[in-house]
Amino acid sequence: MDVLSRQRQGHAEGLPMGDAFRLCLVLTALVLMLLVCSDGRLGAQTANEYEVKAAFLYKFASFVEWPPSSRATPLCIGVLGQDPFGAALDEVVKGKFINNREFSIKRFKSGKDAAACHIIFISASEKNRVRAILDSLAGRSILTVSDVPGFCRGGGMIDFELLDQKVRFEINPEAAERAGLKVSSKLLSVAKIVREGRP
């Protein structure tokens, strides 16, 4: 993730440094809570890559605004394809609310079935079908997330990447805007901004 270094890059214009720094602290603390062992050491014993990604999926909901027509309760996070999270995603949202909305977690085999979700994680098992899945979700206010390389440049909205043993993410704001989603400038400030089809 390396959010502190990304905050210094200033991807989002006009964001007060104090607000961006506070967001960095929140996201960093969240990951540290997942990673710190009982003896205070960091390691993969207590949290793996997908536990961290599950925590991010939960937190993304706080920094994305959906159109009024999509603000039904509960807020659905879907996993499309082979589920890499196990119970981690269910656990991270258990008992959590956002704007008085509880969370629900669903698993799907096709993009058409996932059309009612607010956030959809497209598993790497679907890497050969990403374009078709995104096409099937076009025009719907669904935050699309994946860790398939090049996901954002291919029209996805948020793409996880693992660099130097840290989970980081890219955001394609144009794709989110087309779907009627408003991504907070605070989240944009700690992400790598990418444009479709550009290196």
How many whole angstroms separate alpha carbon 151 and alpha carbon 195?
11
Concatenating the DSSP letter of every residue in 111-178 gives TTGGGG-SEEEE-GGGGGGHHHHHHHHTTS--EEEE-STTTTTTT-SEEEEEETTEEEEEE-HHHHHH
Query: What pLDDT sits at residue 53?
Result: 96
- Phi/psi for 56 (5° steps) reads -65, -45
Per-10-residue mean pLDDT, the chain, length 199? 40 48 52 38 55 96 90 87 95 92 93 89 96 93 97 96 91 97 96 81
| Paired tokens of 113 | 């079935």
How many whole angstroms separate alpha carbon 193 and alpha carbon 87?
30
How many whole angstroms separate alpha carbon 50 and alpha carbon 86?
9
Query: What pLDDT sits at residue 111?
Result: 81
DSSP, collapsed to helix, strand or coil, labels residue 50 as: helix
Q: Which domains does the chain have, with CATH numbers?
A: 3-193 (3.40.50.2300)
How many whole angstroms separate alpha carbon 76 and alpha carbon 38?
32
Closest CA to 142 of 193, 67, 84, 58: 67
| Cα angle, residue 44 at apex, residues 164 and 161 outer, rounded to 5° | 35
Query: What pLDDT sits at residue 90?
Result: 97
